[in-house]
A and B are shown apart, each in its own frame.
Chain A
Amino acid sequence: MGVKDKVWEVFRQEAEGDPMIHGGSVRAPDEELATHYAREFYGRRQESERLWIVPREAITELDDPDLLKPPFDRSFKRPGGFLIKHKLEAARERAGVTDELTREELGE
């Protein structure tokens, strides 16, 4: 590795419309060579529709556990929201319905 080499992070897309996923990294002194090497490492077997080649120093990293893993139960902030499975079961029992179709209608 030459003294002027930089690290470039390479993201790849497997099919049109797919999300860009991190493939790995290459070392290269400049963008042009980084592009060639990204192609060789992450695109020469027709496995990629598109590559993003990003200098590592352009990436802002956040890994503070106080911000990312707060210690209290915050499950209500998840996309699924509150767990209502038990409430639904109780409601079904009161209504006396058990068949699958009705369960689906209840949104379970």
Chain B
Amino acid sequence: MSELDAATGDALGELLLAMADDEFVLGFWDSEWTGIAPILEEDVAMSSVSQDEIGHAKALYELLADLTGQDSDSIAFGRSPDGYRHAALMNHPRTDWAFTIARRFLYETADAVRLESLAGSSYEPLANLARKMRREETYHLLHFDLWLRRLIEGGPDSRNRLIAALQRLWADAQGVFAPLAGEAQLLAARILPESIEALRQRWLARITPRFVELGLPAMPAPPLPAPDARTLHGADFGWLHSEFTMVAASEAGATW
């Protein structure tokens, strides 16, 4: 986009990469349920939702590729693990079903707030994509709210596992709203209609009463997002990265 100055373009790139990597990495973790989800129908549903996330990541990588003149596949698969910008919430392996549902609930509710805001972005390609993604994420949100309720009502084992998972993920979930380098430029250009911290407060104001409604214990006071919430990824992500880059790395530059 020629009308963006270099600093704003870089900042927009960081925003797109953060969002794309969130969707991409989560899509890969949850696609591991294919074949082993609790019931056959859920197996298909979870696989489909995971594919949706990879599709959203692809659309976001393509926006970034348009901006930088790169290729979306090489952005997706061509980086070393430390080049990814997903939030710490996505560093954890899929673990058990309760853990997966806890993470999805935290992520889907956070992503909904982010997309609602970006639907009003001054960067039209991003605003359009956010509006499209919101339509599909509406179903994701319903689906994981539904599972959250079932695990809460499903007896002490599922309820306790869910609560433990929510508590374990609570600090890392804040990292979905970690401040971005160049946020000031994005706000000045109205690419971000509101500060990321304002979005985090809106998300907290939405899920805290939902937890009360569902009879969940209060979460600890939410810490501020860690400064390295989108840059430090750990060994589990290193393993996932080696899995999802395996084919692309087996012959660099191959096309099919």
The interface residues of chain B lying within 8 Å CB-to-CB of A28 are 41
**Restricting to A17-49, which residues have a CB under 8 Å from any CB of B?**
26-28, 32-33, 36-37, 39-41, 44
- With both chains docked as a complex, state the minimum distance between the C-beta of A53 and any C-beta of chain B, in angstroms: 12
> B48, A36: Cβ atoms under 8 Å?
no
> B40, A27: Cβ atoms under 8 Å?
yes
**Restricting to B36-84, which residues have a CB under 8 Å from any CB of A?**
39-42, 44-45, 48
Q: Does A2 sit within 8 A of B, measured CB to CB?
A: yes
> A40, B44: Cβ atoms under 8 Å?
yes
Q: Does A5 sit within 8 A of B, measured CB to CB?
A: yes
Q: Does A1 sit within 8 A of B, measured CB to CB?
A: yes
Give the total number of A-B pairs whose CB atoms are below 8 A apart: 29
* Total residues of chain B contacting the partner, CB 8 A: 11
Given A32-B146, A33-B146: A40 touches B48 (CB 8 Å cut-off): yes
> B39, A27: Cβ atoms under 8 Å?
yes
- Bound Cα distance A27, B41 (Å): 7
> B146, A37: Cβ atoms under 8 Å?
no
Given A32-B146, A44-B48: A37 touches B41 (CB 8 Å cut-off): yes
> B39, A36: Cβ atoms under 8 Å?
no
Question: Which B residue's beta carbon lies closest to that of A5?
Answer: B39
- With both chains docked as a complex, state the minimum distance between the C-beta of B106 and any C-beta of chain A, in angstroms: 20
The interface residues of chain A lying within 8 Å CB-to-CB of B45 are 36-37, 40
For B20-50 the 0/1 string (1 means CB < 8 A from A) is 0000000000000000000111101100100
For B143-157 the 0/1 string (1 means CB < 8 A from A) is 100100000000000
Chain A residues within 8 Å of B, Cβ to Cβ: 1-2, 5, 26-28, 32-33, 36-37, 39-41, 44
13 A-B interface contacts by CB (under 8 A): A1-B39, A5-B39, A26-B41, A27-B41, A33-B146, A36-B45, A36-B139, A37-B41, A37-B42, A37-B44, A39-B139, A41-B41, A41-B44
Beyond A37-B41, A40-B41, list 12 extra A-B contacts (CB 8 Å). A5-B39, A26-B41, A27-B39, A27-B40, A28-B41, A33-B41, A33-B146, A36-B45, A36-B139, A40-B44, A41-B44, A44-B48
Chain B residues within 8 Å of A, Cβ to Cβ: 39-42, 44-45, 48, 139, 142-143, 146
